[in-house]
Amino acid sequence: MSQESADLVTTQYMTLFEPPNELDLDCGRRLGPIQVAYETYGRLSEKKDNVVWICHALSGDAHVAGKYDEGDTGTGWWDIMVGPGKPIDTHTYFVVCSNILGGCKGTTGPSSTNPATGRPWGLEFPVVTISDMVRVQKALLDHLGLDQILVVIGGSMGGMQVLEWAIRYPDVVVSALPIATTARLSAQGIAFNAVGRNAILADPDFQNERPTAPHGLAIARMVGHITYLSERSMHEKFGRTLRNGEKYRYDFNSEFSVETYLDHKGQSFVERFDAFSYLYISKAMDYFDPADRFGSLEAAFAQVKSRFMITSFTSDWLFTPQQSQQLLRALLVNGKDVTYCNIESPYGHDAFLLEPEVLGSLLTGFLASNLRKLRQGKTVLPIAENNQKNGSANHHVGRFDYPMIERLVEPNSRILDLGCGDGRLLQLLSQDRNVQSCGVEISQSRILETVGRGLTVIQHDMDAGLPEFPDDSFDYVILSQTLLEVHNPELVLREMLRIGHHAIISFPNFAHWRARWQLAVQGRAPVTGHLPCAWYQTERIRFLSLHDFEEFCDVLGVRMIVRRFLGAEGREIKHLANWRAEQAIYVISRGNGA
């Protein structure tokens, strides 16, 4: 049942839904028996709590990693991610990947034999949906004797299956990781699929019972492959260079490098894929729309119990970041635990196959935190263990506002930390105050650190507002040492008080005597322990004093509940705070005007 290493693997087969227990399909027909091809990697733990289920995209299959024999020149389609010591580490996790219903790599599909006729199904094969595919996978899970999945992962159409898994089987899926996907195709996405199908159906070699449409399938693949790349990546890879020669030939044969590249992609696809499967799988993608099924995307996610991490790519114009953010908003409206990162990449939609460093780091942290939750009861990495990994003995390291903020937060509270940085404050609050927390951060590198700590974090620019978060969804919203970097402080403050019952804000005091002295005597922009960067190095765009902030709160009609002022080494200042305090911490709430 398992493989010790992803180096050499064997495809396994199982027959499900044998008559009279055929699968009831969404189209109204019944199908059975169904053969399923699948591969496994790693060792199943004694408690069966380490299962990672990978869902493949349109042109993928069960062969996600490794080789079939030593002579193979290629490896599985996600070998950069799956294997010993890789992000999905087969020394730790038991990985399962199956070929989808309707596929052409061992699982029953339109080119399989119709048991009623003894001939290939061809176009007589019933139309299948993403939901049908996932129900077959669930039957495979049951037959393998598994009742829980640590995480379901998939990119593109695989991500659609991840969403279906989480919606349909909320008690089975501990966590879900949809990558570069959508809850439904746009009109443009459906249009590209239609062009591919029409190219196949219009191929003069197309026949009803045999998957022969070499020209049409090649064109379908060319069109699809264009959508997988970004304009930048195509320009950098091909530009307008000619494949052979330096002059135009003035004919209609392929001569630009990009043309011959697409010719190669089309031909190699014909050699390994099935025209019928392309028709059926692309149609299943068109039909996928849980919002239509449930009335809204919010309603579709209402009963999910999975912890989510959604990833998109900045240059993906097929399944755009905006489509991933729709998933994020629908989950947040339902109060679900969801992390989101929009990964900077020039590779377009194909980036999930080509970005092992950033995506791999996110996967590593997310998988480890979910396994830690099952085994230890908490997702967040203990601070002592984190410090050992990073060679640090002190988790405050220059942040004397952290202990004060910790004292101001009630245990078991719901916390949103805006500009959470590397997540150290949330990690501290999770450990010492047992809070339920979420961070908001714009920096990709800091998001990776936060996810590595086992925390929930959302990549977002708070200056654009925080409409994804419902009213009163947190007890405290924290803005720690970030106010000076905000472009629209009024918007951010009002959003904090809309979302949270209380807001906690800390910032360095520009009116501290050292700053005044440097400005008054030296005539230079201050550089102090709490304003450590020169004016040309700082991310801060504003500088304010305690009096400035309190006046700002008065203007907004904000009620001030707690004021704390800190001097050197975090010592609390009681008198002449605007002169002596290096930083301030305020707890505020809505007043009559806020």
**pLDDT tens-digit profile of 252-264?**
999 999 999 999 9
Choose among 532, 293, 564, 555: nearest CA to 403: 564
Is 349 in the active site?
Answer: yes
Pairing, β 34-41 against β 12-16: antiparallel
Q: What is the pLDDT of residues 85-138, one digit of tens each?
A: 999 999 999 999 999 999 999 999 999 999 999 999 999 999 999 999 999 999
Q: What is the largest CA-CA distance in the chain?
A: 96
Average pLDDT, the chain: 92
Q: Is the pLDDT of residue 440 over 60?
A: yes
Angle in degrees, 0-180, between the axes of helices 157-168 and 275-287, rounded to the nearest 10: 50
Average pLDDT over residues 149-172: 98
| Of 112, 203, 315, 349, catalytic | 349
At 207 the pLDDT is 75
What is the crossing angle of helices 157-168 and 130-143, to 10°?
A: 70
Of the listed ranges 83-92, 218-227, 366-375, 381-390, the least confidently predicted one is: 381-390
| Single-letter amino acid, residue 142 | D
User: 128 versus 541: which is more confidently predicted?
Assistant: 128
Reported residue count of the chain is 594
Q: What is the pLDDT of residue 392?
A: 45
pLDDT at 393 over 70: no
Q: Do domains 40-97+131-184+289-373 and 380-590 have the same CATH topology?
A: yes
155: enclosing H helix or E strand: strand 149-155
Answer whether residue 194 shows pLDDT above 80: yes
| Torsion of the alpha carbons at 404, 409, 415 and 416, rounded to the nearest 10 | -40
Domain spans, the chain:
40-97+131-184+289-373, 192-282, 380-590
Q: What is the DSSP letter of 367?
A: H
- Candidate list 61, 89, 316, 350, residue with the active-site label: 316
So what's the architecture of 192-282 in CATH?
Orthogonal Bundle (1.10)
Q: Could you tell me where the beta strands, DSSP code E, fall in 469-594?
A: 474-480, 500-508, 558-566, 583-590
Q: Round to whole Å and give the CA distance between 227 and 420.
A: 35
How many CB atoms neighbour CB 504 within 10 A?
25
Q: pLDDT tens digits for 1-52?
A: 444 446 789 999 999 999 999 999 999 999 999 999 999 999 999 999 999 9
* Residue 591, pLDDT above cutoff 90: no
Output the DSSP codes for 373-409.
HHHHS-SSPPHHHHHHHHT-S-SSTT-THHHHHHHHS
CATH homologous superfamily for the domain 40-97+131-184+289-373: Alpha/Beta hydrolase fold, catalytic domain (3.40.50.1820)
Check pLDDT > 60 for residue 64: yes
pLDDT tens string 517-536: 888 887 777 777 667 777 66
316 catalytic residue (yes or no):
yes
List Cα–Cα distances, 133 to 72, 99, 165, 274, in angstroms: 29, 9, 10, 17
Binned at pLDDT 50, 70 and 90, residue 204 comes out as confident
| Cβ atoms 454, 381 nearer than 8 A | yes
Is 89 catalytic? The answer is no
Q: Identify any residues that bridge with 416 across adjacent strands, giving them in sequence order.
A: 438, 477
264-297 core/surface letters (b: 16 or more CB in 10 A; e: else): ebbeebbeebbbbbbbbbbbbbebbbbbeeeeeb
- Domain boundaries 380-590, corresponding CATH code: 3.40.50.150
**Which residue in the list 98, 111, 156, 413 is annotated as catalytic?**
156
